[in-house]
Structure 1
Amino acid sequence: MPRVLVLLGCSAGAVITLAGVKEVRSIVGPVLLALVLVLAVSPVRTWLGRRGAPGWTLVAVPLTIVLLVLFGMVAILTVAVAQLAALAPTYSRQFTQLVVGAQDLAGRLGIGTQQMNEAIRTLDPGKVFQFLQGFASGLLGVFSSLVLIVVLVLAMCLDTQAVSRVLAMGRARRPEFVGALENFAQKTRRYLVVSTVFGLICAALDVGALWLLGVPLPLLWGVLALITNYIPNIGFVIGLVPPALLGLLEGGPRTMLLVIVSYMAINFVVQSLVQPKFLGDAVGLSTTMTMLSLILWAFVLGPLGALLAIPLSLLVRALLVDSDPDGDWAAALISGDSSPAESTDKKAAPVR
């Protein structure tokens, strides 16, 4: 069959699959979230099993940890939505003064045209708050299906031992497929652990900086920085915009610039210099693939897709690429690293 037809058929199948997933994302989203949460706490179950803990603890302890995380996220997002709704109208007077000052400055510079004035008037801080409220409400809508998520997590925890036995039995027949799934689980856990630890460090430093600068609700923006740390590439910008805007409304341009500089310095040191040394090649996705993953999964699953973009892309890679014995070149293309393909070529070369 011509390769063009193969590519067109695969593309059509991918579009149909993603369209179907988008239509039932209210179900697929909680399922994928439950899967990621179970993978995240699976080392706890392994640790308990090695120490001879009773069988019921292998389910109860991981489930309790997941429940604490879920209820904590629901509480934080609920408070965030309420505080954002109450905070937006309180700065209308300050924003009006900023608009008047900007118009006067534009007039003194000789650029006070009608189009400029209209552009300045259209700036509305409420739009930023509305975007953040929509983002938090979207996540809250997913977490509101707590009954479904809890049932799924409980079922997955109960089936963990059986799934482990099945994978062990299938290793002899399908070693690539089993190895790809194990690699996906390992990379996902490492990504979540490293992102959480360094997200907490960044959030704590951001809260301290905002508190020193007198920006309102520093704890809320610290939590937002932690959540957006899981969003690749643009998460830092989403977490920066609200406190920078509040700094402008509360203390003027100087405070806003100090907020931006503080966030950029913290993000550069922690996430650009330190975090990659611990994360290494755990993600296995190039910068371009990471950005495309974010756009794709956010479009398909909404805000939850943005948060789970990396684990979902790792799952797709495990099922379609890593499980294929001839997929080394595709893995190298996705990761942006040619070493796997080179090592494979060396292994395949005849010994002389």
Structure 2
Amino acid sequence: MSPPRALVLLLGTAAAVVCVAGVKAIAWLAAPTLLAAVVVLTLGPVHGWLRRRGFPRWAATTALVVSVYGTLAAFTVALVVSVTELAALLPRYAERLTRLVADATDALGRLGIGPSRPREVAPALDPGKLLSYLGSLLSDLTGVTTSLVFLLGLLLFLSTGIADAERRLAGIADDRPRTAEALRDFARRVRRYLVVTTVFGLVVAALDTAALLLLGVPLAVLWGLLSFVTNYIPTIGFLLGLAPPALLALLDDGWRAMLAVLVVYGVLNFVVQSLIQPRYVGNAVGLSATATFVALVFWSWVLGPLGALLSVPATLLVLAVLADTPRRGWVTALVGSASRRDGS
């Protein structure tokens, strides 16, 4: 006799809550592990391509490790140099920021907000405090050292183990063929997602950098790099990449420069990242735009900041884990993109 459906639903919901709470508790471990796995999965075909061309196993593995570490090192160097330039540039705008805060306080007073309220807000916007916040943020980066070393170690071990991945999947297929196929499909979808997202990110970053250079906004390369990184955050990524260059344009050249940046980002980033890219991402990974946005919010809450970058791969991994679950077709129908459901 099968248990009542209500009991099954209740137990399943309770188990899901416990699993989510457990993942949230070890987010410090789960997030970098998933990030390392995604990076290695994306560059994994390099190993297979070299093996098919006659390279020995050790040489192919070495090439994969060099590719992984080289990509990470190049990105880290560019980021550190750009952030250092930003930290050196900001003190120049302290006086201008003070004047801007004073003008904003006067404007609030003219709009009917009591004079006491702007005075309460103004100290929080004191340039000295804002610059000290930036300094503390930069110093906090040293606290990431442990996580970075852990991530580098994961990348090394996963890269050296990629050669045995197919053999391990074959072993899983002997007992759980649907799970093995789901894991292979997960790897394929993650690669497609990252290829599509990276291509769009490079396009947006190049366009943003060129536009900011033409507008004369300082540190255009840094903001282009920021656009590339935030492109991996679905739906709202362009908003996160918009605020810093818009604020710097305001401090450097006034309201018109900020408005120009807002218009450029609105035309380029919103159209490309929020209208065009989600359709291609949905077709590549089989997730609807709504499911992608919900996944962004959920995984950001569970895994922290890295969850925003890993929301789509994490969702695909959950779907792969549920491959052997009876009657999971309704889950695919609920989160899948329309084109995938239609078989296109």
TM tier relative to shorter chain: 0.7 to 0.9
Q: Which residue pairs with 1:68 in the alignment?
A: 70
Asked if the contact 2:231–2:273 (Cα under 8 Å) also holds between the matched residues in 1, the reply is no
1:114 equivalent to 2:126? Answer: no
- Which of 288, 301, 306 is equivalent to 1:299? 301
Q: Sequence identity, in percent? A: 46
Structure 1 residue 233: Cα displacement = 1.7
Residues 112 and 159 (structure 1 numbering): CA distance in 2 closer, same or farther, change over 3 Å? closer
What's the CA shift for 1:38? 0.9
Quote the Cα distance in structure 1 between the aligned partners of 2:150 and 2:121: 46
* Structure 2: gaps of 5 or more residues: none
- The residue that corresponds to 1:331 in the other structure is 332
Residue in structure 2 matched with residue 218 of structure 1 by the alignment: 220
The aligned counterpart of 1:197 is: 199
Contact persistence 2:233–2:296 (CA under 8 A):
yes
- Separation in 1, partners of 2:171, 2:95: 68
State TM-score, norm by structure 2.
0.85
Q: CA deviation at 1:84?
A: 4.4
Structure 1: any 5+ residue segments left out of the alignment? 344-352
8 Å Cα contact 1:77-1:140 kept in structure 2: no
**1:220-259 matched pairs, under 5 angstroms:** 220-259=222-261
Change (3 A) 1:255 1:95: same
List structure 1 runs of 4+ shifted beyond 6 angstroms.
Answer: 125-140
Q: What is the total number of aligned residue pairs between the two structures?
A: 340
Give the deviation of 1:106 after TM superposition: 5.1
What residue identity is the alignment partner of 1:238?
A: L
> CA shift at 1:282, angstroms?
1.7
User: Aligned partners of 2:309 and 2:132: how far apart in 1?
Assistant: 19
**Counterpart Cα distance in 1 of 2:40 and 2:272:** 27
Quote the offset at 1:275 in angstroms: 3.6
Compute the TM-score of the two structures, normalised by the length of structure 1. Answer: 0.83
Alignment of 1:300-319 (within 5 A): 300-319=302-321
- Alpha carbons of 1:96 and 1:130: their partners in 2 closer, same or farther (altered >3 Å)? closer
In the aligned structure 2, how far is the partner of 1:234 from the partner of 1:139?
24
Q: Kindly report which structure 2 residues correspond to 1:1-352, keeping only aligned pairs within 5 A, or say none.
A: 1-105=3-107, 111=112, 113-114=114-115, 117-118=118-119, 121=122, 124=125, 145-171=147-173, 173-272=175-274, 275=277, 278-279=280-281, 281-320=283-322, 322-324=323-325, 326-337=327-338, 340=341
Aligned alpha-carbon RMSD (Å): 3.2
1:3 partner amino acid: R
Q: What SS does the aligned partner of 2:284 have?
A: coil
